[in-house]
A and B are shown apart, each in its own frame.
Chain A
Amino acid sequence: MNIYVLVKRTFDTEEKIVVSGGKIQEDGAEFIINPYDEYAIEEAIQVRDAQGGEVTVLTLGGEDAEKQLRTALAMGADKAVLINIEDDVEELDQFTAAQIISEYLKDKNADLILAGNVAIDGGSGQVGPRVAELLGINYVTTITNLEIDGTSVSIKRDVEGDTEVLETSLPLLVTAQQGLNEPRYPSLPGIMKAKKKPLEEVELDDLDIDEDDVEAKTETLEIYLPPKKEAGKVLEGELADQVKELVQLLHSEAKVV
């Protein structure tokens, strides 16, 4: 089975966000594989181990993303591809990202493509379904279980807490939801092996893409931090009085009940 995983490099979840000059400050920040993409990588490895085939992890980004790709290789992926757009693309939105990724994938005959349900930084959840649509294949989002038998696929997906049980077939793109699996940590031998696994780098020229054709459709005008919350009021006194006071505050001051 020919399996691809879309992997995004994101800010570590614990990082504090600092905005300066209208941009998120990246210097010194820790970066990780988008947590949902870890589920996607783990699932891809499990499917390959059960069915045979090859797992390729694919990132659109800059040189720095090699680190996350090596981590994915250390987890057990076979090959990695970096579509390096650092020098070509200034503004990127989900339209741009999906157009470029699908342009790369269009002649790869992937049987199964896995992505995260959402990137924890950009947070749109668009890239997976957009890529599937561009490739003309079916997609299922927020999956929590995947079973493949030949070309038949049985899936459980999370729909706002409810579980949908469905059937479809390959080729297919799925996006991973929490609960799909427990992503493994890279083992030491895995990390050693990863160093020798192939990591291909391609640029827009190699894909015959003209930047103008993939120009972003949306534009970020401003990035800002939410207004600092004033320190809240921790109530004091007898518990019964605190409870009474809280109800009054919620009713008369905050007016939410």
Chain B
Amino acid sequence: MSKKVLVLAEAREGALRNVSYEAIAAGKQISNGGEVVSVLLGDSVQGLTAELGKYGADRVITVEHPHLKQYTSDGYGQALLAVIEQENPQAIVFGHTALGKDISPKIASKLQIGLVSDVTAIEGEGDAAVYIRPIYSGKAFEKVKVKDGIEFVTIRPNNIAPFAKDDSKSADVSSLSVDITNLRTIIKEVVRKSSEGVDLSEAKVVIAGGRGVKSEEGFAPLKELADVLGGAVGASRGACDADYCDYSLQIGQTGKVVTPDLYIAAGISGAIQHLAGMSNSKIIVAINKDPEANIFKVADYGIVGDLFEVIPMLTEEFKQLKVNA
């Protein structure tokens, strides 16, 4: 049976996040030939709808309201429930982002349905869809099926490949007007710490530093390498605890979970709690002066050496590669 699938598009600072396109691809697979409807919420989002069509959405529904300028669970909850009521989808896909994590349980609870969170892969199509998600901080995986009712999943950014952009495609755009009232939370201020450069949880390349980086200034060469590769800088808790960098960069069990194509760990010992946040990365490179460091056990490639020598050399080498390409 084919399904109508509702997928949430997420914008950040005026641009769509990649996970919006990944959700469309996931939705297509679950739909089994059915329609994928992308939902976009905000105070002014018309400028973003065309992109969603190019990435494969069949239709786009926008809800615009001044109260949707900033995310609140009440505001987004009311808007999304109104869209769900109008569209009656058989499946729903959100990103497993801060926003998706916060809003999806509310919707699931309201509709009294199951929710499969943090899905990293989907097997099968339509009614046969099975969802794969990490458990025990990525130390194991489970395959989960929705028994009955709406199939509601959140997908981990960077794991399900979006379709290639096709400029010839477009989606029908319609808007729904929803009365958003009674917000119980008022956002006073958002202090941006992570807005510089590439978003850590969506980055294809992450250069992470640990206590071995030794100081705040020690992160500069890592940043330089990240810039050359179009990646983001991350850190171990060791580095955060030592005040070399902000906690917003922490990767691991109590920090962010990242699954980039390339993860370079520099001066990180590889504690189990750190591995919980990055061990599912596609390729892991370890740079550590201790050949016994645990990080080498999960690394695909390792260099035993001083990161302050190795990182700048890598930066130069990658620059060369780019020039030659």
Contact = CB atoms under 8 A, between A and B. Distances in A.
Contacts of B108: 95, 126, 130
B82 interface: no
Interface stretch (B29-37, B146-154, B166-174): B146-154
Nearest to B115: A126
A124 B154 CA distance: 10
A217 B141 contact: no
5 contacts: A141-B102, A217-B114, A221-B145, A226-B140, A256-B204
Contacts of B104: 126
Contacts of B192: 162
A66 interface: no
Interface in B65-114: 73-74, 97-98, 101-102, 104-106, 108-110, 112-114
Q: Which of B130, B144, B250, B282 gathers the greatest number of chain A CB atoms within 10 Å? A: B144
Interface stretch (A48-56, A103-111, A185-193, A239-247): A239-247
Given A166-B185, A178-B247, A250-B262, A216 B114 contact: yes
Contacts of B186: 166-168
Interface in B168-216: 184-195, 199-201, 204-205
A217 B145 contact: no
Contacts of B110: 133
Given A163-B190, A169-B184, A226-B140, A234 B200 contact: no
B302 A160 contact: no
A160 to B, nearest CB: 5
Contacts, number: 258
B190 A162 contact: yes
B314 A225 contact: no
Interface of B: 73-74, 97-98, 101-102, 104-106, 108-110, 112-118, 130, 133-149, 184-195, 199-201, 204-205, 229, 246-250, 253-256, 261-262, 272-273, 276, 279-280, 282-286, 291, 296-305, 309-310, 313-314, 317-318, 321
Interface of A: 11, 13-14, 16-17, 19, 24, 35-36, 93-95, 98, 120-130, 132-134, 138-142, 158-169, 178-179, 216-226, 229, 231-235, 239-240, 242-244, 246-247, 249-251, 254, 256-257
A124 B204 CA distance: 24
Nearest to A126: B105
Given A19-B140, A216-B147, 14 more contacts: A120-B136, A128-B105, A129-B106, A130-B105, A160-B98, A160-B200, A160-B201, A161-B194, A164-B189, A167-B185, A167-B186, A218-B146, A233-B302, A250-B301
Given A218-B145, A257-B318, A24 B136 contact: yes
Given A161-B200, A223-B135, A125 B194 contact: no
* Best-surrounded residue of B110, B114, B247 (most CB of chain A within 10 A): B114
B304 A234 contact: yes
B193 A256 contact: no
A142 B147 contact: no
B308 to A, nearest CB: 12
Contact of A165 (B106, B188, B291, B297): B188
B121 to A, nearest CB: 12
A246 B102 contact: no
A219 B136 contact: no
Contacts of A142: 98, 102
Among A125, A159, A223, max chain B CB count under 10 A is at A159
